[in-house]
Amino acid sequence: MKQTNTLAPLITYEGIEGAGKSTQMFEVSKYFQQVCHRRVLITREPGGTPIAEKIRAILIHPEEENLDYKTEAYLMQAARVQHVQEVIIPGIKTHDLVLCDRFIDSSTAYQGVGRNLGVDWIEKLNAFSTQTLIPTLTFFIDIPVELSLERMQARKKGQRKNDRFESEQVDFYTAIRKAYIDIAQKNTSRIITLDGTLAKKDLIEQQITKIQEVLTA
Q: Shortest Cβ distance from residue 37 to ligand TMP (Å)?
A: 29
| Nearest CB to ligand TMP, comparing residues 79 and 92 | 79
Q: Shortest Cβ distance from residue 2 to ligand TMP (Å)?
A: 27
Q: Which residues contact 150 (CB under 8 A, 6 or more apart)?
A: 18
Residue 88 in 3-state DSSP?
helix
| Nearest CB to ligand TMP, comparing residues 36 and 174 | 174
- Quick one: which of 106, 136, 148, 193 contacts ligand TMP (CB under 6 A)? 106
Q: Shortest Cβ distance from residue 120 to ligand TMP (Å)?
A: 16
The one-letter code for the residue type at 29 is S
For residue 116, report the phi and psi dihedrals to the nearest 5 degrees. Answer: 65, 30
- DSSP string for 6-72: PPPPEEEEE-STTS-HHHHHHHHHHIIIIIT---EEEEESS-SSHHHHHHHHHHH-TT-TT--HHHH
Using the rule CB under 6 A, give the single segment among 27-35, 106-114, 186-194, 202-210 that binds ligand TMP.
106-114
How many angstroms separate the CA atoms of 15 and 142, rounded? 6
With binding defined as CB under 6 A, does residue 46 bind ligand TMP? Answer: yes
With binding defined as CB under 6 A, does residue 31 bind ligand TMP? Answer: no
Pairing outcome for strands 97-101 and 40-44: parallel
Q: Shortest Cβ distance from residue 211 to ligand TMP (Å)?
A: 20
Using the rule CB under 6 A, give the single segment among 23-31, 103-111, 132-140, 209-217 that binds ligand TMP.
103-111
| Nearest residue to 8 via CA among 108, 111, 97, 85 | 97
Size of site (CB under 6 A) for ligand TMP: 11
| Nearest CB to ligand TMP, comparing residues 78 and 198 | 78
With binding defined as CB under 6 A, does residue 81 bind ligand TMP? Answer: no
- Quick one: which of 102, 139, 177, 183 contacts ligand TMP (CB under 6 A)? 102
Using the rule CB under 6 A, give the single segment among 31-39, 83-91, 107-115, 190-198 that binds ligand TMP.
107-115
With binding defined as CB under 6 A, does residue 165 bind ligand TMP? Answer: yes
Q: CA torsion, points 109, 113, 118, 122, in degrees to nearest 10?
A: -20
> Kindly report the CA angle at 175 between 151 and 12, in degrees rounded to 5?
70
How many angstroms separate the CA atoms of 113 and 65, rounded? 19
Which residues in this chain contact ligand TMP in the complex, by CB under 6 A? 17, 45-46, 60, 76, 102, 106-107, 110-111, 165
